[in-house]
Structure 1
Amino acid sequence: MTVSQASTSSGGSDDGYTLPETLQRLSKSPQGFILGAILAPLIRGLENIVLRLLETLTFVFQGSAPGLIGTYGLADIPLYIGTQLVNVGSIIGGSAAGGTGILGLINRLVEAGLAFATAGGPLAPIIVAGELVVVVYVIVVVARRIILVIADAVPGLAGVLGT
């Protein structure tokens, strides 16, 4: 008598029914099934959360693109401030050749003084020397005022400069 005949003769017929593959894996290795079916998706979800967090931190630091394009990030702040300072400096300083800003004003003063000195005849060297003193004085006053404004704007710098 064979094994298959013994099972059918004892009345325990299986009628061709087999357990689903999932239940077979569970019955063979419950611990492996739990680790594979439950913990694997949780770990993948945790990995996705960590990646999203890192992408968000990168976006906050770098912005949407490097440089002053799109959304600015923390790394773009010094570049933005520098660009604004250069723009303000070019507006204030201007150009001596173009006659704009402080340099244009000083250029006009120098030209007016030279025209006056040319008309002064023998007193021209004294007029040019006086003009030189006035121009240097104006430059020193303007530079000192700029330094004081910057010192007041930067915390702690006024104490270091003693102003």
Structure 2
Amino acid sequence: MAQGGLTHLNAKGEAHIVDIGDKAATRRRAVAQARIIAEPATVAAIMGGSLKKGDALAVARIAGIMAAKRTSDLIPLCHPIPLTKVSVDIEAESATVIVVHATAETTAQTGVEMEALVAASTAALTLYDMAKAIDRAMVVTDICVLEKSGGKSGDFVRTP
């Protein structure tokens, strides 16, 4: 039995991977975000493709997708799950803010919130890496799940 309702802890408080063997495989989807706050010139350079390292948006999208596929290698108690879709969308929210939205989908016995979070944060960190030569003061922030659907716990939509 989980301690205090936390499924990754056993009755002794020890960390373990959750047994999902009896759970039904269902269609599951999660959307996560990350924001980057930067100087207006940095946002313009990233969005305009004028960084010396190349097309930051393309590299960040690929990095996010690759990271989602490796989530169980990065987060110790995550199950490896077959992803049916991963997408990463990046847009300028304002002159000083870039927002990354990552969507992960599967038909499996456990959810994809962590895969979406890892994709969004990795894409944002990749943008930081690609633009740090011109703006080391950038901030990666607001990493969170925006919505999820499927599974026993039902749907969730973050309210503003």
Give the TM-score normalised by the residue count of structure 1.
Answer: 0.25
**Bigger relative contact order, structure 1 or 2, given CA contacts below 8 A and separation 6+?**
2
The structure richer in helix per residue is: 1
**Higher Cα radius of gyration:** 1
The structure richer in strand per residue is: 2
Give the TM-score normalised by the residue count of structure 2.
Answer: 0.25
